[in-house]
């Protein structure tokens, strides 16, 4: 039986790759990645000159059985994603389930994850938190999820995109009113920034400076001061 390594990779700054992650990537018999173009840059940075195989949302059902056969035959594989930790808002989960069911060893090689980086620097309570991932695309379903957090005392963490953030902040303003929202943007990259304010204040900010880049949105209804 081989081993499946879940290798965390940088969320922007290539310097965040760990020594262990680079070592595992150079030793495994196969590397599975969401997008070969993205993984090529990282692998080149680690001095690894080989192609990865793709494992993404659109082929995961089809390729999983064959990958499990190869792992059973003794191959060692690393799965990486475009950014951060495999399994957090990306397709690794499928393979992990199938590997565990087949009795294959699944080993994490931990490192960056955007939600964790954003949480610890947000200034919001870190002792108890909820990770909601991406909200639903449809506005009705999205509202229902947001409304379910009305009496939530823990810090809530969402992944968001620049083209939807204005809509979400408008909905948050209607549902929660004057709460403190923190947005961690472009974390570990050159233009990293943390924005703090009520949904209305953040909407005003984005009117002047249109939203760009990758972002994590956090709020905690017990904390009101910036």
Q: Contact residues for ligand SAM (CB under 6 A)? A: 11-12, 81, 83-85, 88-90, 113-115, 159-161, 184, 186-189, 214-216
Residue closer to ligand SAM (CB basis): 149 or 159: 159
Closest approach of Cβ 76 to ligand SAM, in Å? 22
Residue 137 CB, nearest approach to ligand SAM (Å): 13
Can you read off the two tokens belonging to residue 113? 């994850």
For 197, what's the count of Cα atoms within 13 Å in the CB-facing half-sphere? 11
Which residue is closest to ligand SAM by CB? Answer: 84
CB of 139: closest distance to ligand SAM in angstroms? 19
Contact 7, 80 (CB under 8 A): yes
Angle (CA) 207 209 214, round 5°: 110
CB of 200 vs ligand SAM, minimal distance in Å: 22
Q: Which is nearer to ligand SAM, 94 or 188 (CB)?
A: 188
The H helix count followed by the E strand count for the chain is 8, 10
Distance of CA 188 to the CA centre of its chain: 14
* Residue number with CB closer to ligand SAM (11 or 30): 11
- Pick 2 or 211: Cβ nearer ligand SAM: 211
Spatial distance between the Cα atoms of 181 and 170, rounded to a whole number of angstroms: 12
């Amino acid at each position: 039986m081989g081993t499946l390594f879940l290798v965390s990779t940088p969320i922007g700054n290539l310097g965040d790759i760990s020594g262990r992650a680079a070592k595992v990537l150079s030793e495994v018999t196969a590397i599975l990645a969401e997008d070969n173009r993205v993984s090529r840059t990282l692998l080149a940075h680690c001095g690894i000159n080989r192609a990865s195989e793709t494992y993404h949302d659109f082929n995961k059902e089809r390729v999983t059985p064959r990958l499990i056969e190869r792992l059973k035959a003794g191959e060692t594989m690393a799965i990486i994603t475009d950014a951060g930790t495999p399994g957090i808002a990306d397709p690794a989960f499928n393979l992990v389930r199938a590997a565990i069911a087949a009795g294959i060893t699944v080993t994490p090689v931990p490192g960056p994850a955007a939600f964790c980086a954003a949480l610890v620097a947000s200034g919001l309570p870190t002792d108890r938190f909820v990770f909601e991932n991406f909200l639903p695309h449809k506005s009705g379903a999205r509202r229902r999820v947001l409304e379910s957090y009305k009496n939530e005392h823990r810090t809530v963490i969402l992944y968001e995109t620049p083209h939807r953030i204005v809509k979400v902040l408008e909905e948050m303003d209607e549902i929660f009113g004057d709460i403190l929202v923190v947005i961690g943007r472009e974390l570990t990259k050159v233009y990293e920034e943390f924005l703090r304010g009520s949904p209305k204040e953040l909407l005003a900010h984005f009117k002047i400076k249109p939203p760009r880049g990758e972002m994590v949105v956090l709020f905690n209804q017990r904390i009101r001061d910036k």
